[in-house]
A and B are shown apart, each in its own frame.
Chain A
Amino acid sequence: MSSSAATSSTGSIAVSVWRGDARHGNFQLFQVPQQPSQTILDVVTWIQRHADPGLSYRFACRVGMCGSCAMMVNGIPRWTCRTHVNKVLRDNRLTIEPLRNMPIIKDLACDMSEFFDKWKQARGQFEGSSTRDQQVAALSPGLPRRRIADAATECINCGICYAACDVVSWNRDYLGPAALNRAWSLQNDERDCAGEQRLRAVAGDAGCHQCHAQQGCATYCPNELNPTASIAGLKRMVSQAWFNKGLACHPGKKCGLGKRHA
């Protein structure tokens, strides 16, 4: 089906857009005029503004800082606001779908709740010991652990790695690359004091050991982070802790530290 508002002149792109909701859907074809400076988000916006006002999608910052507009473009997860059409156009065609591995709300918008729930499950928040009334810690940027923490920090939680991860598709409980990458960064933060609890949080059945190092996350992260390497770091850390203290805790069982865990 082709849109009535669109023209099919030589300067147009054939765009196949996924339409539907959590239950069912299919692809709809639109002809979108091509422009010299045009991102995938511009293509989607053009369709909503000029061809079908009912098209649903999500975006916010327009410039690669918020990670709200990620979609599958020709089968690959991408920030649509920062993907130039020329970079991905094949035979004058584009296919745009909602991000993989997350429930669809409508059309190109998916529900990211589980992605953020897993961030929380991985204890992806800092837990320090000093307060707002104390000075900021003097920490040289060159310290080895700081460098590791920093290297994993520049994540904007766009969900691209999560969509790229096959383990997430197989195992819906798997915490996923972004949450584990955050946990790794925190495990290397000298100021954080929840390392032990966090290690337990990422050592379970849904945690770091599930990663098969297929590198989908590292391949597609637009910020060029390497969650696979972070997860490998966590695996080492968990093993070390296991040898040192018998960390391998299971819910309800007594661990090597003599504590029971919920």
Chain B
Amino acid sequence: MDYQTLKTDILILGSGGAGLFAALHALQANPDLDVTIAVKGLLGKCGCTRMVQGGYNVALSPGDSVERHFMDTINGGKWLPDQDMAMRLCQTAVTRVQELENELGCFFDRNDDGSLHHKAFAGQTFDRTVHRGDLTGIEIISRLMEQVRALPVNMMEEHRALALLPSRDGDALAGVLMVDMRSGEFRVVRAKAVLMATGGGPTMYRYHTPSGDKSMDGLAMALRLGIGLRDMEMVQFHPTGLLAGRDTRMTGTVLEEGLRGAGGYLLDGNGERFMLNYDADGERATRDIVSRGIYAEMRAGRTTPNGGVYIAMSHLGAEKVAQKFPGMVKRCADCGFDLAGGRVEVVPTAHYFMGGVVVTPDTRSRLPGLFVAGEDAGGSHGANRLGGNGVANSTVFGGIAGDEMAGFAAGQGTWADIDEDLVSAAIDESMSPLRRAKADINSIRDRLLDLMWEGVGVLRDAQGITRAQTQLADLKSELLASGIGDANRVFALSWHDWLNLQSLIEVSEVIAAAALSRENSRGAHYREDFPEVGSLEESYFTIARSEATGLKVERRPVEFSIVKPGESLIQDD
């Protein structure tokens, strides 16, 4: 199969907060660079930065400090975060928010005196979340997008990355194989530096929040190249995803945390409150606790018609609810539900992936030429991400990646030779479902989402995980023998559905292996057969890698490079 070869200095995969900031910073550092952004959807429109509701954590308030933000991040991450990354996150968030306002034109909510408004967010000891109403992500990504679109960057929209291409000697990354989803043509982009910022996104669960384009392609490509992935057992579930029944795209999308914070009730199928049976804070307990409470109710069969629980707000006064949460009320109404005055079915929903590629705080992976930022990178969040640290993470490290890659491209970066046989093999593999007869891809997707939900979801144990691993292996064989029965590659969604499933199954295997390896319960990872947190002093994180003999998971001790368990950087704590 023919393919076109292009050359660029810096290739960026993804156009969320990380990808766009990287492009901006790379060109600011060196305007002579040739920068290319490739993205699976439309630039700035797909991905999850746009979907941020809550806001952006930044220590800008009088009385708050970077150290306090850092300690909250470490405590929230149950002592698993890479402390140097977490510190870099908290420090750089300050300049990044000022950059967003002063240079990009974001306008975050203000107090009457004109100062930035900081709202309270779960798990934090200070009100530090900067926001724009409850649609912060739209403001951030829209302003970023218009800045980047005004720059001389090469845009490859609706291009799917198929494989990371190492140099012939294997010592560096040389480029990326892509397919133009609109035409079906293959393209190899050779680059001196590549940023992987495809945005993770745990969409292999029956209920999930990320945008539909996300399917862990980045991590799957890294895995195939033998790159180590850390904290892969750490999948954050948001407790209240909308539940609208099978075959509905809206199912799984987030109903915001503030609903519970404001006093909303969670009710079982019989209309009874249940969260107080699980935690003294009831519905206001943290995301992980509420998710587990709902999951336990569902497992006990006390469910709503579609198999979830209800969220009810009407006791707070329908008018008040409509006033306080206009976006959520309108969204539910458009989909046929009355959030303000009635009950809406909800379920826990897979929201964010804490795990990812092992990187240094300056976004370098171990493979020269490969930089990773945003949800594809692991380390900042450890076992749990604080609400408001997600968009901070992607924008902070995206900008850093842009600065670093500009230096790398002008220095040690080269256009390394690519093995053409490798390209041909990868193209051939990607086209295999086009050659095979039509099979029931939807059934494979449904079974994948069900088995991950049941076996490696909110509550886990060895037996369930092992069963899921067997099912995953079977499903993988079935997928590899399945076709879509249509050879047309032009805007071929069903072909991409197949490729998405391949990435999702491969990464699911890693999640399961890492989940089996961690024999304690930390943050988002809860083992019913190992419910204890384990010794904080002996905290370890997992690294998974694909080897010739199969997946290998090892445990590595957390380096307490800044603060040890029992200590704090805050004087008065």
Contacts and interface: CB of A to CB of B under 8 A. Distances in A.
Interface string A102-139: 00011101001000100110001110101111111111
In order of increasing CB-CB distance, the 4 nearest A-B pairs are A126-B105, A138-B114, A132-B99, A53-B494
Contact of A126 (B116, B143, B182): B143
Contact of A54 (B95, B97, B135, B492): B492
Given A49-B442, A125-B146, A84 B334 contact: yes
A60 interface: yes
Given A61-B50, A68-B46, A119-B149, A191 B113 contact: no
A185 B248 CA distance: 36
Contacts of B102: 128, 130-132, 134, 136-137, 191
B493 A42 contact: no
Nearest to B109: A141
Contacts of A186: 105
Interface stretch (B171-179, B287-295, B482-490): B482-490
Contacts of A133: 95, 98
Contacts of A60: 41-42, 45-47, 211-213
B491 A106 contact: yes
B331 A82 contact: yes
Contacts of A18: none
A161 B248 CA distance: 26
Given A49-B442, A63-B331, A42 B248 contact: yes
Give the size range of A's interface with the partner.
Answer: 35 or more
A124 B105 CA distance: 11
Interface in A152-168: 153-157
Interface of A: 21, 35-39, 41-42, 45-46, 48-50, 53-68, 81-84, 86, 105-107, 109, 112, 116, 119-120, 124-126, 128, 130-142, 146, 149-150, 153-157, 182, 186, 189, 191-192
Contacts, number: 200
Contacts of A136: 60, 97-98, 101-102, 108, 116
Contact of B493 (A55, A116, A124): A55
Contacts of B137: 65
B115 interface: yes
B139 A153 contact: yes
A242 to B, nearest CB: 26
Given A53-B486, A156-B138, A63 B494 contact: no
Give the size range of B's interface with the partner.
Answer: 35 or more
Nearest to A113: B157
A153 B105 CA distance: 11
B110 interface: yes
B247 A35 contact: yes
Given A64-B334, A119-B149, A132-B95, A191 B105 contact: yes
A119 B145 CA distance: 11
Nearest to B490: A106
At the interface, is chain A mostly helix, strand, loop or mixed?
Answer: loop
Interface in B119-152: 135, 137-139, 142-143, 145-147, 149-150
A139 B107 CA distance: 10
A137 to B, nearest CB: 7
23 contacts: A38-B247, A42-B247, A45-B247, A54-B486, A59-B249, A60-B47, A62-B212, A63-B51, A65-B137, A65-B138, A68-B41, A116-B149, A119-B149, A126-B143, A132-B103, A136-B98, A141-B110, A141-B114, A154-B138, A156-B142, A182-B146, A191-B102, A192-B105
A28 to B, nearest CB: 15
Contact of A120 (B41, B114, B149, B249): B149
A58 B114 CA distance: 40
Nearest to B108: A136
B96 interface: yes
B104 interface: yes
Contacts of B46: 60-61, 66, 68
A157 B50 CA distance: 12
Given A64-B334, A136-B98, 4 more contacts: A65-B135, A83-B334, A116-B149, A137-B114
A81 B250 contact: yes
A11 to B, nearest CB: 14
B120 to A, nearest CB: 19
Contacts of B524: none
B508 interface: no
A37 B245 contact: yes
Contacts of A65: 50-51, 135, 137-138
Given A49-B442, A63-B250, A128 B336 contact: no
Q: Determine which residue in B103, B253, B488 has the highest number of CB atoms from chain A within 10 A of its CB, and name it.
A: B103
Interface string B83-113: 0000000000001111101111101111011
